[in-house]
Amino acid sequence: MAITARVQKIIWGKSGARCAFPGCRRQLVTDLVATDGTVVVGDIAHIVAQSPGGPRAQYPPPGGFIDAEANLILLCEEHHKLIDSQPQTYPVEKLLQMKTDHERWVNERLSDEERFQQVSQPVKLVCETIHSTLLPVNQMPHYVYTAPCKMTELEVKQKIVSPQLSKVMLPFIIRGGNLITFSDLRDTNGPFHTIVEGSSAEYHTAAKWWRDQDYYHWYVTLLNRALNKLTGHKGLHLDKEHQRYFFPPGPGPSFRSIKYRSLSGRKTSRQVVWRPKLKHSGEYRHYWEHMAVSLRFHHVTETSWCLSIRPERRFTRDGYVSLTPKGIGRRSTSRKSHMYNVNDSTFAP
């Protein structure tokens, strides 16, 4: 088995294209001149020899394989011949230490560009901005409030005292005969004061709920209901079957465009509901296409949460009735290569 090209690059890179023999550190690649090409004057030497009876061949090779990176060291031709001619003076342990010391020196003294100079074609570094679809959540509700409640969720919804601020979201659920919400149920003037007795309300730390499987799911349900309200303010509807938010058509129905601010900060617009056309005739196809998004909360550490944003598409027959799964599949697949490229965010606030 020969030394692979990958292992050769690793050896030359870690050694900085210099001899690893102590005090030598000779540059092992000559410069290109007008009359002659670049010359390699170094060797990748085996610490434990390849051939039976060779230098140090009676010992097991470091790393377990003869041609593995751990059993190889970069030397100039002079010192390669020296260590093989004097195996008693240069045993396995001494060569391993020589290799380790030299690679540490390379890491401390040379930049990445210098280490791989003439080993591989240098690549110019390019600075790029990466837009992630996994966004950190800066603040989560710290408390969850519960109180006994015999009403259904529909009855509770009808009796909530709406706050003056329309942007205030009041997610709640009914579980096990209790109303559960992020709002302080002890507040006698709160939105739920006509529904539950404030004196019977209890509060719980969110961090404790995150560690219990059932409570965790209830907490996430409250978060998702808050998202339902927020996306509703943005004009999106919830596709309950696929758990994604989509733009409905305009009045009529008709195609729909929205105005928004892009990632670059400029104001622009984008069509979010339309009927695709046939390329050869320009006639409308028999389905509608809607821009959509999947939003999901992720509990990533004990105290940290993220929100993932996944671009989606929704396909309908007439702007309202969803296509069959068979009709959706082939169309959705054809959009994948375009949907996950970074473009201006339609769902940016």
d(CA 121, CA 141): 52
pLDDT at 337 over 60: no
Higher pLDDT, 301 or 129: 301
pLDDT tier for residue 301 given thresholds of 50, 70 and 90: confident
Higher pLDDT, 34 or 267: 267
pLDDT at 40 over 70: yes
pLDDT at 340 over 60: no
Is the pTM higher than 0.85? no
Please name the helix (run of DSSP H) or strand (run of DSSP E) that holds residue 113, with its range, or none. Answer: helix 112-115
Mean pLDDT over each residue of the chain, to the nearest integer: 85
Give me 58's structure tokens: 């009676």
Q: What is the pLDDT of residue 124?
A: 62
d(CA 336, CA 313): 9
Q: What is the pLDDT of residue 99?
A: 94
pLDDT at 127 over 90: no
For the ranges 11-25, 30-44, 59-73, the lowest mean pLDDT is seen at 30-44
Give the pLDDT confidence of 81-113 residue by residue, as tens digits: 999 999 999 999 999 999 999 998 888 776 655
pLDDT at 122 over 60: no
pLDDT at 196 over 70: yes
Give the pLDDT confidence of 130-177 residue by residue, as tens digits: 777 888 888 899 999 999 999 999 999 999 988 766 678 899 999 999
Q: What is the pLDDT of residue 159?
A: 92
Q: Contact 287/249 with Cβ under 8 angstroms?
A: no
Give me 111's structure tokens: 């930049």
d(CA 10, CA 25): 17
Segment 299-323 mean pLDDT? 89
Q: What is the pLDDT of residue 346?
A: 42
Q: What is the pLDDT of residue 36?
A: 61
Q: What is the pLDDT of residue 165?
A: 62
Give the pLDDT confidence of 208-252 residue by residue, as tens digits: 999 999 999 999 999 999 999 999 988 899 998 888 999 999 887
Q: Contact 51/58 with Cβ under 8 angstroms?
A: no
User: Which CA distances in Å does 267 have to 259, 290, 291?
Assistant: 7, 21, 19
Give the pLDDT confidence of 50-89 residue by residue, as tens digits: 888 899 999 889 888 899 999 999 999 999 999 999 999 9
